[in-house]
Amino acid sequence: MDKNNLNNIPKDLFVPLVRKEDTSEKISAPSRTFFQDAKRTLLGNKPAVFSMILILFIIIMSIVGPWMNDFGSDEQDLKRAKMPPRVPVLENVSWLGMDGTLSGKFQGKDVQQATAKANARFDNKEEFIDIKVLNKGDGTRNSAEVEATYRIYEAKDMKDTYFWFGSDALGRDQWTRLWEGTRVSLIIAFVAAVLDLVIGVAYGGISAFYGGRVDNVMQRIAEILVGIPNLVIILLMMLVLKPGIISIVIALSITGWIGMSRIVRGEVLKLKNQEFVLASRTLGTSNGTIIRKHLVPNISGIIIINTMFSVPGAIFFEAFLSFIGLGIVPPDASLGSLIDLGFDNLRLYPYMLVFPAIVISVLMIAFNIVGDGLRDAFDPKMHK
C-alpha cells in the first residue's frame, strides 16, 4: 500500500475482530523454578560445562587409572628407577617425549670429550647411545657440542615394559602413583569442603536464627578466630597431628568454616525477617520446618558456590602441606608430594614434575571455572 493512499482504503478491507478470550496475560512458556533457571544458565556456559567434563574425567581416572596397568604404587625396584615415559604407539611420535629415551646436550673441547661425557652420564652403555654432533668445536673449552639420545629401555633389556608416565627415583610407576595421588588429593578436598559446609552452615545458621545473646557470643568467638591466620593454625596442627589424610582434613576444617558461617549468617539475618517467614510463623510452623522449607532453599545457591570455591582451596593447601613436608607420608602419594619429588629431579628428569603439575593445574582451573559458572548461574541478574 502506498503511503499517499492511506486515506483511501476501501471499506471492505475492514473486518470486525472475532472476540476471543484475553490472551495478553497468557503464559506462553512453562514457568521455570529458580533452580531450573540456574541449570539452564550453567549448561549454556561452555567453559563451565567443559570444566565439569574435565573434572569428571579426572575423578574417573583417579578411580580406574591405577588398575589400567600392572604396576602397584609401592612396588619399588631400583633397577628400573628413573625410567622416562614410554607409551605404545605414541613412542613413534618423536616430539612428544613419550618414546622412552633420555637425551641431553653435552659440551667438551672436542667431539670425543663431549661424547665421553655423554657416555659417563648414561651408564656407559655406548651401543644404546645415539650421538648427534651439533658442533665440532675448535679445541677450546666447551666449544664442541653433541646431543646424546639414550635408549634406556633397550639398555636395561626391558623392551616390552612400558612406564606410561615414567618411573620415579625408587622405580615406582608414575602413572599409578599419579592417579592414586589425585584420588588422595580429591578425597581430602571433598571431605574438607563438606566439613566446612556442615560446620559453617550450622554455626552461621544458629547464630543468626536465634540472634540476641547467642548471636553476640558466637560472633565474638568468630571475630577472634577470623583474626588468626589459618595458615598458622594449619601448620601448627600439622606439626602436632600424625601426618596423614585425616590430620590434613582436620587441620583444613578447623579454620575453613569461618568464611562460610559468616556468609550464611548474613543471608539468614536478611531472610528471617522477611514477610514469607513471618507468614509461616503466624501459621504456627515450627522452627525446624521454617529452617528446612524456607531458609535453606533460599541460601542453598550461595552455599553451593562457596563449597565449589573451597574445593580448589583445599586441594591447594593439601599440596602446599605435602610440598613443605607436613602432609602425606610415603609410600602414599598425593599431588603435592609427587610435585615435591619432581622438584628434586627437575634438572635431569623433568617428566617427574610435569605430569602431576599438569593434573593439579587442570583441576584447580576447572574447579575455579565451574565456581565462576555457578556464581553466574545463581545470580538472578544474569538470567535471560
Partner 1 sequence: MTRYLLRRVWYMLITLFIIATFSFFLMKILPGSPLQAEDKLSEEQKAIILEKYGLNEPIPVQYAKYLGGLVKGDLGVSFKFDNTPVTTILMDRIGPSALLGFQALVVGSILGIILGLLASIFRNSPIDFSSTIIAVIGTSIPSFVFAGLLQYVFAVKLGWFPVALWGTSAHTILPTIALAIHPMATAARFTRTEMVEVLHSNYIITARAKGVSETGIILKHGLRNALIPLITVLGPMAVGLMTGSMVIEQIFAIPGIGEQFVTSVMVNDYPTIMGTTLLFAFGFIVIILIIDLLYGLIDPRIRLAGGNK
Integer CA distances (angstroms), 327 to 13, 15, 338, in order: 85, 83, 11
Shortest Cβ 52–partner 1 spacing (Å)? 15
Q: Residues 319, 328, 333, 377: which binds partner 1 (CB under 8 A)?
A: 319
- Residue 270: CB atoms within 10 A of its CB come to 12
From residue 231 to residue 260, the character string flagging contacts with partner 1 as x (rule: CB under 8 A) and all else as - is: xxx-xx--xx--------------------
**219 near partner 1, rule: CB under 8 A:** no
Measured between alpha carbons, how far is 153 from 85 in angstroms, rounded to an integer? Answer: 10
**188 near partner 1, rule: CB under 8 A:** no
Shortest Cβ 356–partner 1 spacing (Å)? 9
Give the distance from CA 259 to its chain's centroid: 20
Amino acid of residue 214 = V
Shortest Cβ 345–partner 1 spacing (Å)? 11
Contact 352, 166 (CB under 8 A): yes
Shortest Cβ 226–partner 1 spacing (Å)? 9
Between 57 and 343, CB nearer to partner 1: 343
**186 near partner 1, rule: CB under 8 A:** no
Contacts of 55 (CB under 8 A, 6+ apart): 363, 366, 367, 370
Which one of 22-30, 94-102, 156-164, 352-360 is the stretch in contact with partner 1 (CB under 8 A)? Answer: 352-360
All cell numbers assigned to 87: 607409551
Which one of 26-34, 56-64, 167-175, 365-373 is the stretch in contact with partner 1 (CB under 8 A)? Answer: 365-373
* DSSP secondary structure, 109-126, as one string: SSHHHHHHHHHHHTTT-G
Shortest Cβ 158–partner 1 spacing (Å)? 27
In 3D space, the residue among 224, 204, 218 whose CA is nearest the CA of residue 266 turns out to be 204
Contacts of 98 (CB under 8 A, 6+ apart): 85, 86, 87, 90, 91, 164
Between 257 and 367, CB nearer to partner 1: 367
Which one of 120-128, 166-174, 195-203, 219-227 is the stretch in contact with partner 1 (CB under 8 A)? Answer: 219-227
Between 167 and 322, CB nearer to partner 1: 322
Contact 322, 328 (CB under 8 A): yes
Using CB under 8 A as the binding criterion, the count of chain residues that bind partner 1 stands at 36
Measured between alpha carbons, how far is 161 from 151 in angstroms, rounded to an integer? Answer: 13
- Residue 210: CB atoms within 10 A of its CB come to 13
Measured between alpha carbons, how far is 53 from 363 in angstroms, rounded to an integer? Answer: 11
Q: Residues 109, 169, 320, 331: which binds partner 1 (CB under 8 A)?
A: 320
**223 near partner 1, rule: CB under 8 A:** yes
Between 308 and 326, CB nearer to partner 1: 326
**369 near partner 1, rule: CB under 8 A:** yes
All cell numbers assigned to 231: 595458615
**288 near partner 1, rule: CB under 8 A:** no
Interacting residues toward partner 1 by CB under 8 A: 223-224, 227-229, 231-233, 235-236, 239-240, 312, 316, 319-320, 323-326, 339, 342-343, 346-347, 350, 353, 357, 360-361, 364-365, 367-369, 372
